[in-house]
Amino acid sequence: MLGRVLAGFAALTCVVAVAPAVVADSYRLCALREGTKGPCTCEVKGGAPGEFVGVARSRCRPAPTAAKKPDATPDTAIAAPNAAAATPAAETKPAAVVATPTAPASGLLETGALATSRRIVDIRARGKLLCGINTDLLGFSKQSESGSWIGLDADFCRAVAAAVFGDASKTEFVPVETSERFEALKGGKIDLLARNTTWTMDRDVQGLEFAGILYIDGQGFMTSDARGLVSAQQLAGLRVCVEAGTTSEANAGYYFKSHKSDAELRSFPTRAAMMEAYVKGECDALSGDRTALFSERAGLADPETHAILPEVISKEPLGPVVLQDDREWIEVVRWTLAGLINAEEVGLTKPLAAGDAALDGDAARLVEGAGKNGESLGLSRSWLRDVVKTVGNYGEMFEADLGKGSPLGMERGINALWKRGGVLYAPPMW
């Protein structure tokens, strides 16, 4: 019964869409229901053939002549990916992906939506993504003896390069200090900052855009066993060292104030200076993101003689950052992150993505949806598969960089998928 009602509804809406009475700017359920492959057509006022435009293809405009390239007007920018509505997808797809001598395998569109993204045009012309990373933080970005950068942030940079170019080797890693990270972004030294950076409203309203949460951390304290401390509440009257310009500095100050503790907060301009002071015994404790403290501890001469105290005094949602001035670029970074998380959720693994077999089920739906929608951002149809082929899905990245396959051996904990007791949750991509 329900099936008959729905079938009747579909027929009715299609009739509405093709009827001569359809005029420009009328709303067509048919377009919404049929997607880009539907048989529906529209006519503009006067009966001339039209094509669907606008978000959800809810408007009709005159169809372009065969040789006409899409305009760079905002309307066209939205419409370009959907222009396939008027012709079979197979005919329009190869024409949409334009290879150039400078970036033959980029998969980026020559015109349409891409024309509005200065950043993507620049990245493409340069032939590499400039990605700001931590200078030396085990688990997030640390240079190996062979010179390659290892860690979750470094892998995220690769993932974005794979999305943009289909080739992660087009990542140029730019190590940046804590104090210079935002200036590096604002000054155009980097396209993207993936550097254990906490998403806060304060930063968000100052021209920065966080693409999402790559890793959930919290602030803690590390101290030498020699001090005999078991709780942060024993820090009163002691020297606690932090790095200047971090959320750690602000949170520790607030924590001591609100706990009426007279701990002395010492700020250092660089991590190197802070660690030197700690090693020399000039700090009774360090305060910072807990995972970073585990990393720092692993680098000490006698790691087992230092403890991370149990208190977690803040929320530190770490995420990739871009400037707020370029909508398409923000979307590319945001959906790359969402794609990694969704890939784990649907079981799209690195071996599966790298194999020759066609994907099926949820993995196929994800890659196809990401491919179709990614065209609006100038990405290739296979961009998400390229990403997972290169760095794996979120879970695989986590295990290799921070989890059991890494020197840190961190538990997934809160960073597990929402289906497995964590809070990692990405919006659908179809």
Binding site for ligand GSH (CB under 6 A): 134-137, 177-178, 196-198, 243, 246-248, 271, 288-289, 292, 316, 318
Q: Fill in the DSSP letter of residue 304.
A: G
**Proportion of the chain in helix, strand, coil states, percent, rounded to 5:** 45, 15, 40
- 177 burial level (CB within 10 Å; 0-12, 13-18, 19+): middle
Q: How far is CA 344 from CA 20, 32, 85, 244, 296, in A?
A: 47, 29, 32, 36, 29
52 vs 173, which CB is nearer to ligand GSH? 173
137 vs 190, which CB is nearer to ligand GSH? 137
Cα-Cα-Cα-Cα torsion 242, 244, 246, 250, nearest 10 degrees, comes to 70
Smallest separation (angstroms) from ligand GSH to the CB of 341: 20
Residue 266 makes CB contacts below 8 A (sequence gap 6+) with: 239, 240, 241, 242, 277, 282, 283
**Do the Cβ atoms of 79 and 54 come closer than 8 Å?**
yes
91 vs 183, which CB is nearer to ligand GSH? 183
Smallest separation (angstroms) from ligand GSH to the CB of 221: 12
Smallest separation (angstroms) from ligand GSH to the CB of 295: 8
Smallest separation (angstroms) from ligand GSH to the CB of 181: 7
Smallest separation (angstroms) from ligand GSH to the CB of 200: 8
Smallest separation (angstroms) from ligand GSH to the CB of 310: 19
137 vs 192, which CB is nearer to ligand GSH? 137
Spatial separation of the C-alpha atoms in residues 382 and 388, rounded to whole Å: 10
**Do the Cβ atoms of 159 and 387 come closer than 8 Å?**
yes
For residue 92, the tally of other CB atoms under 10 A from its CB is 18
299 vs 347, which CB is nearer to ligand GSH? 299
151 vs 288, which CB is nearer to ligand GSH? 288
**Do the Cβ atoms of 223 and 306 come closer than 8 Å?**
yes
Smallest separation (angstroms) from ligand GSH to the CB of 271: 4
The residue to which tokens 């709780």 are assigned:
231
Residue 147 phi/psi, 5° resolution? Answer: 100, -10
Smallest separation (angstroms) from ligand GSH to the CB of 192: 15
181 vs 381, which CB is nearer to ligand GSH? 181
71 vs 136, which CB is nearer to ligand GSH? 136
